[in-house]
Amino acid sequence: MNIELFIATRKEKGYSQKELAQGICTQATLSRLENNGQIPTLKILIQLCNRLELPLGELFPKVGTQNTQLRELLNQGEFYLITSEYESLRTLLEQLDLVEVTQAGLLLQYYYLLGFEMIFRQAPVTDVLFTFDKLLAEEHQHPQEIYQLLGYTGIGLVYLRESDLNKAEYYFNQVLERVYQYPTNTIEEVWKVLNMVFHCGLFYGEQKDYESSDGLFQYVFSLCAKNHVTYYLARAVFQLAQNALQAGQEKSRVLELLQDARAYAKVNDNQRLLKQINAQMQELTSTN
Are the C-beta atoms of residues 128 and 119 closer than 8 Å to each other?
yes
pLDDT of residue 256: 94
Most confident residue range from 82-91, 115-124, 136-145, 267-276: 115-124
* Fold observed for domain 63-182: 1.25.40
pLDDT of residue 60: 61
Are the C-beta atoms of residues 123 and 116 closer than 8 Å to each other?
no
Q: How far apart are CA 234 and CA 15, in angstroms?
A: 65
What confidence category does residue 119 fall into, taking pLDDT thresholds of 50, 70 and 90?
A: very high
Average the pLDDT over each of 3-7, 190-194, 230-234 and give the range with the smallest value: 230-234
Average the pLDDT over each of 120-124, 266-270, 275-279, 282-286 and give the range with the smallest value: 266-270
- Which regions of 27-121 does DSSP assign to beta strands (E)? none
CA 50 to the chain's CA centroid: 43
Q: How many helices and strands, by DSSP H and E, does the chain display?
A: 16, 0
What confidence category does residue 76 fall into, taking pLDDT thresholds of 50, 70 and 90?
A: confident
Q: What is the pLDDT of residues 149-204, one digit of tens each?
A: 999 999 999 999 999 999 999 999 989 888 877 777 788 788 888 889 999 999 99
pLDDT of residue 67: 59
Helical segments of 142-250, H only: 145-161, 165-179, 187-206, 210-227, 233-246
Mean pLDDT of all residues in 74-93: 86
* Fold observed for domain 3-59: 434 Repressor (Amino-terminal Domain) (1.10.260)
Q: Please name the amino acid found at residue 75.
A: N
To the question of pTM greater than 0.75 for the whole model, the response is no
pLDDT of residue 64: 42
184-193: buried (b, 16+ CB within 10 Å) or exposed (e) per residue?
beeebebbbb
Q: Please name the amino acid found at residue 39.
A: I
Asked if residue 29 has pLDDT above 80, the reply is yes
Burial of 236 (C-beta count, 10 Å sphere; 0-12/13-18/19+): buried
User: Measuring CA to CA, which residue among 170, 169, 131, 162 is closest to residue 147?
Assistant: 131
pLDDT of residue 225: 80
User: Measuring CA to CA, which residue among 58, 65, 67, 4 is closest to residue 35?
Assistant: 4
Asked if residue 259 has pLDDT above 80, the reply is yes
